[in-house]
Amino acid sequence: MSLLADHTMKRPGKATGPYIIVRLRGGIGNQFFQYAIGRKAALETGSQLRFDITEYSLYPERRYALEHFNVAGDVAQHEECASVLWPAKEFGRTAQLLRKVYPFYKSRCAHEKDWAYAPDAPRISRNTYLDGYFQRALIPLSIQNTLRRDLSLKRPFALSRQKTLSHIERARSVSLHIRRGDYLKPQNLASYGLCSPDYYLEAKKRMEQDMPGAQFFVFTDDPCWAKAFFKTSGNVRVLEPQPDGKDHEDLMLMSRCQHHIIANSSFSWWAAFLNSSKEKRVIAPKQWFKAANQGADHLMLPSWILL
Protein backbone atom coordinates (compact mmCIF):
# COMPACT_ATOMS: atom_id res chain seq x y z
CA MET A 1 0.00 0.00 0.00
CA SER A 2 1.29 3.49 -0.82
CA LEU A 3 2.22 5.84 1.96
CA LEU A 4 0.86 8.78 -0.04
CA ALA A 5 -2.38 10.34 1.12
CA ASP A 6 -4.42 12.78 -0.97
CA HIS A 7 -4.68 15.75 1.37
CA THR A 8 -2.37 18.76 1.72
CA MET A 9 -2.86 21.56 4.25
CA LYS A 10 -1.91 25.14 3.36
CA ARG A 11 0.06 26.87 6.10
CA PRO A 12 2.05 30.09 6.47
CA GLY A 13 5.79 30.33 6.91
CA LYS A 14 9.00 31.16 5.06
CA ALA A 15 10.13 27.54 4.70
CA THR A 16 9.49 26.19 1.22
CA GLY A 17 9.04 22.43 1.61
CA PRO A 18 7.19 20.21 1.29
CA TYR A 19 8.84 18.37 4.14
CA ILE A 20 8.74 15.06 5.91
CA ILE A 21 10.16 15.71 9.37
CA VAL A 22 11.09 12.78 11.57
CA ARG A 23 11.64 13.12 15.28
CA LEU A 24 14.82 11.17 16.00
CA ARG A 25 15.37 9.56 19.38
CA GLY A 26 17.10 6.59 20.91
CA GLY A 27 20.26 4.88 19.75
CA ILE A 28 21.56 4.21 16.29
CA GLY A 29 19.26 1.24 15.60
CA ASN A 30 16.21 3.29 16.53
CA GLN A 31 17.41 6.14 14.32
CA PHE A 32 17.74 3.76 11.38
CA PHE A 33 14.11 2.66 11.73
CA GLN A 34 12.99 6.28 11.97
CA TYR A 35 15.10 7.16 8.94
CA ALA A 36 13.56 4.28 6.98
CA ILE A 37 9.98 5.51 7.35
CA GLY A 38 11.00 9.10 6.69
CA ARG A 39 12.97 8.14 3.58
CA LYS A 40 10.10 6.06 2.23
CA ALA A 41 7.56 8.80 2.85
CA ALA A 42 9.82 11.45 1.30
CA LEU A 43 10.30 9.34 -1.83
CA GLU A 44 6.59 8.66 -2.28
CA THR A 45 5.44 12.22 -1.60
CA GLY A 46 8.23 14.05 -3.40
CA SER A 47 9.19 15.79 -0.16
CA GLN A 48 12.44 16.90 1.42
CA LEU A 49 13.50 14.84 4.43
CA ARG A 50 14.45 16.57 7.67
CA PHE A 51 15.44 15.31 11.13
CA ASP A 52 14.31 16.89 14.38
CA ILE A 53 17.21 16.13 16.72
CA THR A 54 16.18 18.28 19.69
CA GLU A 55 15.74 15.10 21.76
CA TYR A 56 19.52 14.76 21.99
CA SER A 57 19.97 18.08 23.76
CA LEU A 58 17.56 16.82 26.44
CA TYR A 59 19.06 13.34 26.82
CA PRO A 60 22.81 13.60 26.07
CA GLU A 61 23.47 9.94 26.90
CA ARG A 62 22.37 9.25 23.33
CA ARG A 63 23.86 10.89 20.25
CA TYR A 64 22.63 11.85 16.80
CA ALA A 65 24.23 9.20 14.59
CA LEU A 66 22.90 9.72 11.05
CA GLU A 67 25.54 12.40 10.41
CA HIS A 68 28.06 9.59 9.94
CA PHE A 69 26.16 8.09 7.00
CA ASN A 70 25.32 9.06 3.42
CA VAL A 71 21.70 9.78 4.27
CA ALA A 72 19.36 11.77 2.03
CA GLY A 73 18.26 14.39 4.54
CA ASP A 74 19.36 17.22 6.79
CA VAL A 75 18.81 18.40 10.35
CA ALA A 76 15.54 20.37 10.50
CA GLN A 77 15.72 24.11 11.01
CA HIS A 78 13.29 25.73 13.44
CA GLU A 79 11.33 27.44 10.66
CA GLU A 80 10.95 24.12 8.82
CA CYS A 81 9.49 22.45 11.91
CA ALA A 82 7.21 25.45 12.47
CA SER A 83 6.00 25.29 8.87
CA VAL A 84 4.99 21.65 9.20
CA LEU A 85 3.69 21.75 12.78
CA TRP A 86 1.74 25.01 12.37
CA PRO A 87 -0.09 26.34 14.36
CA ALA A 88 2.45 24.82 16.80
CA LYS A 89 6.00 26.13 16.35
CA GLU A 90 7.79 23.01 17.56
CA PHE A 91 6.99 19.52 18.74
CA GLY A 92 5.79 19.60 22.33
CA ARG A 93 2.74 20.25 24.47
CA THR A 94 1.04 22.55 21.93
CA ALA A 95 1.30 19.96 19.17
CA GLN A 96 0.06 17.22 21.50
CA LEU A 97 -2.92 19.36 22.53
CA LEU A 98 -3.79 20.11 18.90
CA ARG A 99 -3.79 16.39 18.18
CA LYS A 100 -6.41 15.91 20.88
CA VAL A 101 -8.60 18.85 19.87
CA TYR A 102 -8.44 18.72 16.07
CA PRO A 103 -8.75 15.31 14.38
CA PHE A 104 -7.22 16.66 11.14
CA TYR A 105 -4.01 17.51 13.02
CA LYS A 106 -3.29 13.83 13.58
CA SER A 107 -2.45 13.50 9.90
CA ARG A 108 -0.04 16.43 10.14
CA CYS A 109 1.60 15.49 13.46
CA ALA A 110 1.44 11.73 13.24
CA HIS A 111 2.25 9.45 16.16
CA GLU A 112 3.19 5.79 15.80
CA LYS A 113 0.24 4.69 17.94
CA ASP A 114 -2.13 5.95 15.22
CA TRP A 115 -1.17 2.84 13.22
CA ALA A 116 -0.59 0.44 16.10
CA TYR A 117 -2.99 -2.17 14.72
CA ALA A 118 -2.70 -1.42 11.01
CA PRO A 119 -1.46 -4.42 9.00
CA ASP A 120 0.33 -2.22 6.46
CA ALA A 121 2.62 0.80 6.49
CA PRO A 122 0.99 4.10 7.43
CA ARG A 123 -0.27 6.49 4.75
CA ILE A 124 1.58 9.77 4.98
CA SER A 125 1.00 13.07 3.19
CA ARG A 126 3.34 15.92 2.38
CA ASN A 127 4.28 18.26 5.22
CA THR A 128 4.02 15.67 7.97
CA TYR A 129 5.86 15.40 11.26
CA LEU A 130 6.47 11.78 12.33
CA ASP A 131 6.87 10.79 15.98
CA GLY A 132 7.59 7.19 16.94
CA TYR A 133 10.00 4.27 16.65
CA PHE A 134 8.35 2.58 13.64
CA GLN A 135 10.06 -0.76 14.16
CA ARG A 136 8.41 -2.74 11.39
CA ALA A 137 10.44 -4.86 9.01
CA LEU A 138 8.12 -4.22 6.04
CA ILE A 139 9.07 -0.54 5.90
CA PRO A 140 12.86 -0.96 5.39
CA LEU A 141 12.23 -4.08 3.29
CA SER A 142 10.24 -2.03 0.77
CA ILE A 143 13.24 0.26 0.07
CA GLN A 144 16.09 -2.04 1.08
CA ASN A 145 18.42 -1.21 -1.82
CA THR A 146 18.01 2.52 -1.19
CA LEU A 147 18.69 2.08 2.52
CA ARG A 148 21.81 0.01 1.95
CA ARG A 149 23.20 2.82 -0.19
CA ASP A 150 22.16 5.56 2.22
CA LEU A 151 23.30 3.80 5.37
CA SER A 152 26.90 3.50 4.28
CA LEU A 153 29.71 5.21 6.15
CA LYS A 154 30.98 8.57 4.98
CA ARG A 155 34.49 7.80 6.23
CA PRO A 156 36.69 4.68 6.41
CA PHE A 157 36.81 2.55 9.52
CA ALA A 158 39.22 3.54 12.26
CA LEU A 159 42.54 1.70 12.00
CA SER A 160 41.72 -0.74 14.83
CA ARG A 161 38.47 -1.74 13.10
CA GLN A 162 40.17 -2.06 9.73
CA LYS A 163 42.39 -4.72 11.27
CA THR A 164 39.35 -6.54 12.64
CA LEU A 165 37.65 -6.25 9.24
CA SER A 166 40.57 -8.01 7.59
CA HIS A 167 40.11 -10.95 9.98
CA ILE A 168 36.36 -10.99 9.32
CA GLU A 169 36.85 -11.01 5.55
CA ARG A 170 39.34 -13.89 5.69
CA ALA A 171 37.12 -16.09 7.87
CA ARG A 172 33.81 -17.87 7.54
CA SER A 173 32.57 -15.15 9.83
CA VAL A 174 29.53 -15.08 12.07
CA SER A 175 28.71 -12.01 14.15
CA LEU A 176 27.29 -12.74 17.58
CA HIS A 177 25.77 -9.82 19.47
CA ILE A 178 25.42 -9.84 23.27
CA ARG A 179 23.74 -6.80 24.75
CA ARG A 180 23.80 -6.45 28.50
CA GLY A 181 24.87 -2.95 29.67
CA ASP A 182 21.74 -0.78 29.53
CA TYR A 183 19.51 -3.87 29.34
CA LEU A 184 20.45 -4.60 32.96
CA LYS A 185 18.71 -1.43 34.10
CA PRO A 186 15.44 -2.33 35.87
CA GLN A 187 13.15 -0.61 33.36
CA ASN A 188 14.84 -2.26 30.36
CA LEU A 189 15.14 -5.62 32.09
CA ALA A 190 11.39 -5.54 32.71
CA SER A 191 10.61 -4.63 29.09
CA TYR A 192 13.17 -6.62 27.10
CA GLY A 193 15.07 -8.97 29.34
CA LEU A 194 18.31 -10.60 28.22
CA CYS A 195 18.83 -13.27 25.61
CA SER A 196 19.50 -16.42 27.60
CA PRO A 197 22.81 -18.32 27.59
CA ASP A 198 20.88 -21.27 26.13
CA TYR A 199 19.85 -19.11 23.17
CA TYR A 200 23.46 -18.30 22.34
CA LEU A 201 24.64 -21.88 22.79
CA GLU A 202 21.90 -23.26 20.55
CA ALA A 203 22.39 -20.55 17.92
CA LYS A 204 26.14 -21.17 17.86
CA LYS A 205 25.56 -24.92 17.56
CA ARG A 206 23.20 -24.38 14.61
CA MET A 207 25.72 -22.22 12.80
CA GLU A 208 28.52 -24.73 13.39
CA GLN A 209 26.39 -27.56 12.02
CA ASP A 210 25.46 -25.62 8.89
CA MET A 211 28.87 -24.03 8.35
CA PRO A 212 31.82 -26.13 9.50
CA GLY A 213 34.81 -23.94 10.24
CA ALA A 214 32.71 -20.94 11.27
CA GLN A 215 34.52 -18.25 13.23
CA PHE A 216 32.45 -16.22 15.68
CA PHE A 217 33.11 -12.52 16.28
CA VAL A 218 31.37 -11.39 19.46
CA PHE A 219 30.20 -7.78 19.61
CA THR A 220 29.21 -6.85 23.14
CA ASP A 221 29.10 -4.14 25.77
CA ASP A 222 30.13 -6.71 28.40
CA PRO A 223 33.33 -8.38 27.15
CA CYS A 224 34.21 -9.81 30.58
CA TRP A 225 30.96 -11.78 30.70
CA ALA A 226 31.34 -12.91 27.11
CA LYS A 227 34.94 -14.10 27.57
CA ALA A 228 33.97 -16.11 30.63
CA PHE A 229 30.98 -17.61 28.84
CA PHE A 230 32.95 -18.66 25.74
CA LYS A 231 36.24 -19.46 27.49
CA THR A 232 36.31 -23.06 26.20
CA SER A 233 35.39 -22.15 22.61
CA GLY A 234 38.40 -21.93 20.35
CA ASN A 235 36.43 -20.49 17.43
CA VAL A 236 35.19 -17.38 19.28
CA ARG A 237 36.83 -13.97 19.32
CA VAL A 238 35.37 -11.43 21.74
CA LEU A 239 35.94 -7.93 20.41
CA GLU A 240 36.84 -5.31 22.98
CA PRO A 241 34.62 -2.19 22.78
CA GLN A 242 36.62 0.81 21.59
CA PRO A 243 36.72 3.93 23.79
CA ASP A 244 36.24 6.28 20.81
CA GLY A 245 32.42 6.24 20.94
CA LYS A 246 32.12 5.20 17.30
CA ASP A 247 29.25 2.77 17.75
CA HIS A 248 28.21 3.41 14.16
CA GLU A 249 31.44 1.77 13.00
CA ASP A 250 30.82 -1.25 15.23
CA LEU A 251 27.38 -1.76 13.68
CA MET A 252 28.78 -1.56 10.17
CA LEU A 253 31.67 -3.85 11.08
CA MET A 254 29.14 -6.37 12.34
CA SER A 255 27.23 -6.12 9.06
CA ARG A 256 30.36 -7.18 7.16
CA CYS A 257 30.27 -10.65 8.70
CA GLN A 258 28.83 -13.35 6.45
CA HIS A 259 26.21 -14.56 8.94
CA HIS A 260 24.62 -13.25 12.12
CA ILE A 261 23.36 -14.27 15.55
CA ILE A 262 21.51 -11.21 16.78
CA ALA A 263 20.25 -10.10 20.18
CA ASN A 264 16.82 -8.63 20.91
CA SER A 265 18.25 -5.30 19.87
CA SER A 266 17.71 -2.97 16.92
CA PHE A 267 21.50 -2.53 16.82
CA SER A 268 22.21 -6.07 15.62
CA TRP A 269 18.87 -6.21 13.72
CA TRP A 270 20.24 -3.55 11.40
CA ALA A 271 23.64 -5.20 11.14
CA ALA A 272 21.93 -8.32 9.81
CA PHE A 273 19.58 -6.36 7.56
CA LEU A 274 22.35 -4.30 5.95
CA ASN A 275 24.19 -7.45 4.92
CA SER A 276 22.95 -7.75 1.32
CA SER A 277 24.20 -11.31 0.74
CA LYS A 278 21.53 -13.76 -0.39
CA GLU A 279 23.53 -16.55 1.24
CA LYS A 280 23.51 -15.07 4.73
CA ARG A 281 21.96 -16.91 7.67
CA VAL A 282 20.44 -14.95 10.49
CA ILE A 283 19.38 -16.40 13.83
CA ALA A 284 17.17 -14.20 15.98
CA PRO A 285 15.53 -14.64 19.40
CA LYS A 286 11.90 -15.74 19.15
CA GLN A 287 11.09 -13.81 22.33
CA TRP A 288 12.07 -10.21 21.65
CA PHE A 289 10.22 -8.70 24.60
CA LYS A 290 10.00 -9.87 28.21
CA ALA A 291 6.20 -10.16 28.15
CA ALA A 292 5.24 -13.50 26.65
CA ASN A 293 2.14 -11.97 25.03
CA GLN A 294 4.10 -9.21 23.28
CA GLY A 295 5.14 -10.67 19.97
CA ALA A 296 7.74 -9.45 17.49
CA ASP A 297 6.46 -10.95 14.24
CA HIS A 298 6.44 -7.46 12.73
CA LEU A 299 10.23 -7.32 13.22
CA MET A 300 11.20 -10.69 11.79
CA LEU A 301 12.15 -11.35 8.19
CA PRO A 302 10.83 -14.57 6.58
CA SER A 303 14.28 -16.06 6.01
CA TRP A 304 15.45 -15.59 9.58
CA ILE A 305 15.66 -18.56 11.94
CA LEU A 306 13.93 -17.97 15.26
CA LEU A 307 15.10 -19.70 18.44
pLDDT of the residue at 125: 87
What mean pLDDT is predicted for residues 108-126?
73
**For the chain, how many residues are written?**
307
Is the CA virtual torsion 126, 132, 137, 138 positive or negative? negative
When the pLDDT of each residue in the chain is averaged and rounded to a whole number, the result is 90
Outline where DSSP puts E strands in the chain.
Answer: 19-23, 48-52, 74-75, 109-111, 128-131, 173-178, 215-220, 236-238, 259-261, 282-284, 305-306
Pick the closest to residue 108 from 174, 41, 163, 170 (CA basis): 41
Q: Which pLDDT score, from 0 to 100, does residue 47 have?
A: 96
Instruction: Provide the pLDDT for residue 121.
Output: 59
C-beta atoms surrounding 295 within 10 Å: 13
Nearest Cα neighbor of 66 from 96, 38, 97 is 38
The rounded distance, in Å, linking the Cα atoms of 271 and 183 is 19
Identify the CA nearest to 20 among candidates 40, 44, 43, 50: 50
pLDDT at 72 over 50: yes
Rounded to an integer, the average pLDDT of 198-212 is 97
Which pLDDT score is estimated for 278?
94
167-184 confidence digits (pLDDT tens): 999 999 999 999 987 777
Quote the CA–CA distance of 261 and 203 in Å, as a whole number: 7
**Comparing C-alpha atoms, which of 34, 111, 17, 20 is closest to residue 69?**
34
Q: Quick check: 243 pLDDT over 60?
A: yes
pLDDT at 118: 58
Confidence of residue 59 (pLDDT cuts 50, 70, 90): confident
pLDDT for position 191: 75
- Residue 5: pLDDT band with limits 50, 70, 90: very low
The pLDDT value recorded for residue 122 is 62
